[in-house]
């Protein structure tokens, strides 16, 4: 199993922006030094949920200040990006990082209407924009004298420069919030990123994913390779004892939950618009499913349950809500010293990404 840090830092006060951005850059550098496999970056706008806001700019900073760790997006909201500009930016970062880039793409947020309002995009167009933009990016990376006429973009370019470091193009992966999107990736023979789910749902989806790939005609080597490149998301906190972990992490998690909903509620009160209403509690909002929390032994047991399901890697958020940087750094160090080695004795140390 591979391990990653999802750098998803909240700045609950605009006055904290600079401090938290600098701390997050140092957190990424620490993960590179300690030997984690991946850093994942988020994209959220206007609300402080993600302090650095723009994963493209932040990925470039990480690429220039780290040596071996892979850097990916979980995800870039494609409805908010021009595909040619993003293809150029990805090529630059791929060159800076010597091929350590993972281009994680998604339709855009399913909850925060203000992301779309700020960019003047109709959220109903989000999925169609994603599909068209991904195809444009792949063709732009691989096709000289490329011309495209589509629903959202009409484009003509001689040759995209710089050429990607990774040939034919950087590794691309999609986020799949729901089962139907995951099935689409299975039928196409592609890996995916899974958002926070219960272990039961994670098991059901991974079993269905494997079965659907086999039914679609993919051989066992392809199924295995795609599973090895599939990642699932959890929050995490490790301390010397269960009681200490719960004391430090659970209040931060609860504050994080409240903060992530605050702007959505504010916009609804002011405008009467809501992108998506939740009719039942989502796994990400239930502490028993959302966070792996405890001593190294307790966290090892929790990860072993996920490992038995069969996934490629864990997308782990170490810094939760208002948690101080020093506290999350201690958790990362303890995780890498006492947890990660238990799952790496017979595993490759780097993402497969092929």
Q: How many CA atoms lie within 13 A of 191 on its CB side?
A: 24
Look at residue 296 and tell me if it is in a domain.
yes
Domain tally for the chain? Answer: 1
pLDDT range class, residue 344, cuts 50, 70, 90: confident
Task: Evaluate whether residue 85 is within a structural domain.
Answer: yes
Considering the domain boundaries, does residue 34 fall inside one?
Answer: yes
pLDDT at 349 over 80: no
- For 101-132, write each residue's pLDDT tens digit: 999 999 999 999 999 999 999 999 999 999 99
With respect to residue 147, please indicate whether it lies within any of the assigned structural domains. yes
Cβ 314 vs Cβ 351: under 8 Å: no
Q: Which helix (H) or strand (E) holds 79?
A: none
DSSP at 144: T
Residue 220 resides in a domain: yes
Query: For residues 127 and 184, what is the distance between their CA atoms, to the nearest angstrom?
Result: 13
Domain of 20, in residue numbers = 2-343
Predicted confidence (pLDDT) per residue in 27-52, tens digit: 999 999 999 999 999 999 999 999 99
DSSP conformational letter for 8: -
Q: Kindly report which listed range (66-75, 163-172, 269-278) carries the lowest average pLDDT score.
A: 269-278
pLDDT bin (cut points 50, 70, 90) of residue 351 is low
Confidence of residue 350 (pLDDT cuts 50, 70, 90): low
Identify the helix (H) or strand (E) that includes residue 316.
strand 313-317
Backbone torsions φ then ψ of 66, nearest 5 degrees: -125, 170
Q: Partners of 236 in the beta sheet?
A: 292
* Inter-CA distances, 154 with 142, 149, 151, Å: 18, 4, 8
Place of tokens 């392809």: 222
pLDDT-derived band at 278, boundaries 50, 70, 90: confident
- Segment 176-193 shows an average pLDDT of 97
- Residue 26: inside a domain, yes or no? yes
In this prediction the pTM is 0.97
Domain-embedded: residue 53:
yes
Q: Crossing angle, helix 17-34 and helix 325-338, to 10 degrees?
A: 10
The average pLDDT across 132-159 equals 98
What pLDDT is attached to residue 352?
64
| 18 inside domain | yes
For residue 280, what pLDDT is reported? 76
Q: What is the CATH number of the domain that holds 95?
A: 3.20.20.30
- For residue 20, is pLDDT > 80? yes
Q: What is the distance in angstroms between the CA of the first residue and the CA of the last residue of the chain?
A: 16
**ω before 191 within 30° of 0 (cis)?**
no
Confidence (pLDDT) at 354: 63
Average per-residue pLDDT for the chain: 96
Helix H or strand E segment including 267: helix 242-271
Q: What are phi and psi of 216, to 5 degrees?
A: -85, 0
Is 182's pLDDT higher than 80?
yes
pLDDT of residue 353: 73
For residues 83-109, give the mean pLDDT: 97
* Cα distance between residue 156 and residue 147, in whole Å: 4
Let me know the angle formed at the C-alpha of 214 by 211 and 216, rounded to the nearest 5 degrees: 110
Indicate the pLDDT class of residue 200, thresholds 50, 70 and 90.
Answer: very high
pLDDT at 220 over 70: yes
Binned at pLDDT 50, 70 and 90, residue 304 comes out as: very high
């Amino acid at each position: 199993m591979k391990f990653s840090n999802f750098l998803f830092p909240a700045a609950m006060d605009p006055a904290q922006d600079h401090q938290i951005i600098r701390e997050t850059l140092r957190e990424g550098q620490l993960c590179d030094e300690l030997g984690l496999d991946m850093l994942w970056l988020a994209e959220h706008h206007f609300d402080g949920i993600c302090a650095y806001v723009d994963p493209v700019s932040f990925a470039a900073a990480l690429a220039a200040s780290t040596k071996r760790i892979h850097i990916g997006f979980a995800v870039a909201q494609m409805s908010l990006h021009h595909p040619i500009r993003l293809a150029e930016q990805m090529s630059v970062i791929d060159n800076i990082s010597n091929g350590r880039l993972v281009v994680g793409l998604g339709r855009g947020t399913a909850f925060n209407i203000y992301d779309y309002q700020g960019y003047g995009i109709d959220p109903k167009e989000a999925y169609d924009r994603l599909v068209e933009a991904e195809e444009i990016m792949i063709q732009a990376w691989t096709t000289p004298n490329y011309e495209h006429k589509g629903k959202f973009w009409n484009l003509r370019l001689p040759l995209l420069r710089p050429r990607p470091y990774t040939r034919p193009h950087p590794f691309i992966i999609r986020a799949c919030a729901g089962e139907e999107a995951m099935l689409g990736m299975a039928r196409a023979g592609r890996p995916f990123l899974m958002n926070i789910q219960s272990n039961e749902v994670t098991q059901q989806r991974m079993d269905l994913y494997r079965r659907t790939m086999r039914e679609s005609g993919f051989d066992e080597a392809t199924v295995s390779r795609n599973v090895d490149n599939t990642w699932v998301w959890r929050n995490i906190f490790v301390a010397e004892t269960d009681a200490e972990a719960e004391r430090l992490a659970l209040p931060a998690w609860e504050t994080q939950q409240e903060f992530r909903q605050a702007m959505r509620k504010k916009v609804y009160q002011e405008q009467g618009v809501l992108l998506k209403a939740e009719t039942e509690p989502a796994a990400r909002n239930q502490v028993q499913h959302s966070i792996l929390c405890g001593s190294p032994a307790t966290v090892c047991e929790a990860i072993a349950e996920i490992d038995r399901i069969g996934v490629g890697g864990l997308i782990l958020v170490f810094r939760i809500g208002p948690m101080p940087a020093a506290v999350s750094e201690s958790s990362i160090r303890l995780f890498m010293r006492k947890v990660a080695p238990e799952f790496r004795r017979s595993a490759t140390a780097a993402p497969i990404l092929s």
